[in-house]
Amino acid sequence: MARRNTYRLSEKHALPFKSGNKQKRQDLFIKQKQVREKAKREERFSRKKAEDQNPKLRAERLKNNEPLTIDRKRVWDDVDSGDDDILGLSIDIERLKRRKLEQEADQAAQSSEEASEDGEDADSMLDSDSELEEDEQQRASKTSFEQRQKEPSPPKSTASTNLDLMPEALANKFSSLFNQTPPPIPKILLTTTFNSTLHYEASLLTRLFPNCVYIPRSAHRYSHKYSVKEISKFAANRNYTAVIILREDQKRPCGLDIVHLPMGPMFHFSISNWVEGRKLPGHGKPTNHHPELILNNFRTPLGLLTAKLFQTMFPPQPEFQGRQVVTLHNQRDFIFVRRHRYVFRGKRETEKTLVGADGKELKGAEDIRAGLQELGPRFTLKLRRIDKGIQRSSGQEWEWKGKTDRIRTKFQL
């Protein structure tokens, strides 16, 4: 009876070895790869067996295996109370306000404890055990406050923007944007650069921004070449709230300049990844209803200023029967603009349950799901400069300008 050749892997194959024969080197590499894959497979199966017996091991492993992305490496600037140029600083407004509230609460607790200690000294009936317990509570409160200071703010990829956190100095500087009176209904004038060919793209933007009117801009030899300052004055006299200039490069949209009327400022954005709605798979047709507006992840003073600009360009009361929503999501200083139509439906049997950021199921949404249909257009904005007021030729004086010597882990919005 013939003997069966059984191939058995040896640990020696994983040892470093060099040979002058090419065929032997290939065989050695294959054997080393088999040994490594076998060791990984055995380790994976043993870990799965241990985690099935003790689920806490799986939770600890998943907690420690969180990927360290650039968003988690984000660094912030140190803030001094005397800094006037807060617009150019990368600071988390929500985190600073939370820290101030915690400090005020700790100070109030310490003052109340000191007042109670003074009363306790006057009272001779107190025991020494209660004093030791109070000392321990004070130490525990101090250590917890120090830990809160050292802990970094959690990364928020889909954090909604709270415009009420805008610093007062910046709100006073841009009083036309942050006035306390109810904002007027937006009325937008859209135009292009001289002799532009982006008429269809401009018509798409008039459907994106409500109450928007498009007027072509010509440079005919017999016509007057109106500047942006003259156009803004013309629009302000007719109760327009903003002027948008669509810039062109090689017959494609390359920039968007937004002038807040009547006194400015003027925002300069660059456009990338422009996709028309008719080129999106499964797209829908938009209606004339006023959409809802979602502003995500604007955390710095400059980000809140940019979010406030876009908030003034949409009506404060959306028309919910249209079921349309415009989302401006900021991530790594890129503003992703999307428009969808949503519908609420029941949960299918094959769908999983909704889970929140804490990993727990969302209560009240067990049997409800939301379906989305993108309407377009889809594009990405990046803020380049903010000019002071409305200038005849932009770029003479600016409030903020993007720096070239950027740090990869520091973001401005």
The ranges assigned to domains in the chain are 11-63, 93-118+131-150, 163-348+364-401
Residue 190 has a pLDDT of: 95
pLDDT given at position 391: 79
Where does the pLDDT of residue 11 fall: very low under 50, low under 70, confident under 90, or very high at 90 and above? low
Interhelix angle 22-53/55-64, nearest 10 degrees: 120
Which pLDDT value is given to residue 394? 65
Amino acid at position 258, single letter: I
| Mean pLDDT confidence for 301-329 | 92
Length of the chain (residues) = 413
In 3D, which of 67, 76, 83, 156 has the Cα closest to residue 410? 76
Asked whether 223 and 269 are in contact (CB, 8 A), the reply is no
**Mean pLDDT of the 102-108 span:** 80
Does residue 142 carry a pLDDT above 70?
A: no
Share of the chain above pLDDT 70, in %: 82
pLDDT at 146 over 60: no
Looking at residue 244, what is its pLDDT?
95
pLDDT digits (tens, 9 = 90+) for 355-402: 877 778 888 777 888 889 999 899 999 999 998 888 776 667 888 888
SS3 content of the chain, % helix, strand, coil (to 5): 35, 20, 45
> What's the pLDDT at 118?
64
pLDDT tier at 99 (50, 70, 90 boundaries)?
A: confident
CATH topology of domain 163-348+364-401: Rossmann fold (3.40.50)
Q: Of 56-60, 158-162, 180-184, 291-295, which range is least confident?
A: 158-162
Whether 83 shows a pLDDT value over 60: the answer reads: no
* Interval 241-284: pLDDT, tens: 999 999 999 899 999 999 999 888 899 999 999 999 999 999 99
Question: Could you tell me which residues are beta bridge partners of residue 191?
Answer: 245
CA nearest neighbour of 166 among 308, 262, 269: 308
Least confident of 4-18, 188-202, 304-318, 333-347: 4-18
